[in-house]
Amino acid sequence: MFFSLMIIVFATLLSGCMNDDVFPVTPVDLFGSRGVFIINEGNYLYGNSSLSYYDIVSGEVVNDIFSLANGVPLGDVAYTMALHNGKGYIVVNNSGCIHVVDANTLLHEATIENLPSPRHMLFIDNELALVSDLYARAISIVNTSTYQVEGIIKTGDSSMPYYRHSSEYLLRVGNRVYTNSWSYDNQVLVVDLEQMQVVDSIRVGLQPLAMVKDMNTNLWVINDGGFAGSPMGTEVPSLVMINTVTNTVEKQFNFSSTTDAVGQMATNAAGDSLYFICNHLYVMSIYDTELPAEPHIARNGRTFRALGVDKQTGDIYISDATDFMSEGKVYRFTPKGLPIDTVGVGIIPGNFCFN
């Protein structure tokens, strides 16, 4: 069971970047549960982002679970969530903060602030984490014991147009961290963890949107190709593989049209299969020499947004943003692409986090 029957009428307002709305509180208990958190972005400037939780065993979904546990809304544009040492870190992009919660009760413990536009979080050790950022031209260095920003790694400067270089995904290979610069850019940056600075860059396709690491520690980057009217121009979306020994692009696959809508990526547990969204959901081996001809899961009028693969079961999770204003949906499929479940979640489900 997720909740006790006792309901506390009001909660003490939490500090940080949440607003002053107060909701009834229902204690949450996820001890022993295995599931997936769905991070619902909500609408920009509406402050209606939320967190949902789907129990993998029972199929039960609980929406607004953060607000249920704490009595206050999550903030404006929740983007990603990460779990580390029994705590959940919920990145709220436009509110410029990260909420730290107990991973089992969802009770708020702290808020990491002074983050211009945070996106993804990577834990380096038990006290150090990096946080990527859309507008800061820097990666933030966060102390997870004090919950303070202790420094930055510069990725660009004010002389660069369009806030180049932004940072998105953060993937570690040895003593290096790779981040894709998505906004008006075409670079993957290489950060040396000993020097805590950018030491190299790799040119990929236009607007590298998402990135994953395979079993050979090679990186796969999907590039959205820009958009009509962009000052950077447009090109067909592409999928590239980076060899992290040489820091060079070794493979490139071009999609068929500038109108192809590419999206998130994932790998299976072994790291030898690649999942990606390009209008539909496709699966390919990391050793394939061409893009798959047929989709693994057809979108059939749906708007695929978030993608996750359960590393324990191989099940595939895809979200549908529907009309971007009302309740979104999450679809669960077997590894073979057969439907298992469909649940309603919050507005614009944008990312998954498996516990």
Least confident of 13-22, 194-203, 319-328: 13-22
Question: pLDDT, tens digit, for every residue of 40-80?
Answer: 999 999 999 999 999 999 999 999 999 999 999 999 999 99
Residue 287: inside a domain: no
Residue 105: inside a domain: no
Does residue 299 contact residue 318 with C-beta atoms inside 8 Å?
no
d(CA 310, CA 333): 10
d(CA 223, CA 206): 6
Establish how many alpha carbons lie within 13 A of residue 251's alpha carbon, considering only the half-sphere containing its beta carbon. Answer: 17
User: What CATH number does residue 136 fall under?
Assistant: 2.130.10.10
**The two structure tokens encoding residue 180:** 């894709």
**Count of domains for the chain:** 1
Residue 269: inside a domain: no
Nearest to 278 by CA among 256, 263, 293: 263
Residue 118: inside a domain: yes
Beta bridge partners, 202, equal 188
**pLDDT value at residue 112:** 98
Question: pLDDT, tens digit, for every residue of 308-342?
Answer: 999 999 999 999 999 999 999 999 999 999 999 99
d(CA 7, CA 61): 19
Establish how many alpha carbons lie within 13 A of residue 176's alpha carbon, considering only the half-sphere containing its beta carbon. Answer: 19
Residue 61: inside a domain: no
pLDDT higher than 50, residue 2:
no
**pLDDT value at residue 15:** 39
Residue 330: inside a domain: no
The number of angstroms, rounded, from the C-alpha of 77 to the middle of its chain's C-alpha atoms is 12
Where do the DSSP E strands lie in 113-169? 118-123, 128-133, 138-143, 148-154
Residue 3: inside a domain: no
pLDDT higher than 50, residue 172:
yes
Nearest to 224 by CA among 213, 240, 212, 243: 240
pLDDT higher than 80, residue 19:
no
Question: pLDDT, tens digit, for every residue of 136-149?
Answer: 999 999 999 999 99
Q: Is pLDDT larger for residue 148 or for residue 21?
A: 148
Does residue 199 contact residue 267 with C-beta atoms inside 8 Å?
no
Residue 218: which domain range?
114-260
pLDDT higher than 50, residue 84:
yes
User: What is the total residue count of the chain?
Assistant: 355
Q: What angle do CA 28, 122, 195 make, to 5 degrees?
A: 150
- SS3 (DSSP) at 161: helix
pLDDT higher than 90, residue 3:
no
**pLDDT value at residue 18:** 53
pLDDT higher than 70, residue 8:
no
Q: 169-207 as b/e, with b when 16 or more CB fall inside 10 Å?
A: bbbbbeebbbbbbbbbbbbbbbbebeebebeebbebbbb
**pLDDT value at residue 96:** 98
Which amino acid makes up residue 127?
A: E
Confidence label for 24 from pLDDT (cuts 50, 70 and 90): confident
Which amino acid makes up residue 259?
A: T
Does residue 25 contact residue 13 with C-beta atoms inside 8 Å?
no
Distances (CA, A) of 223 to 9, 234, 261: 48, 11, 10
- SS3 (DSSP) at 163: helix
Residue 60: inside a domain: no
Question: pLDDT, tens digit, for every residue of 272-322?
Answer: 999 999 999 999 999 999 999 999 999 999 999 999 999 999 999 999 999
State pTM to two decimals. Answer: 0.93
**pLDDT value at residue 351:** 98
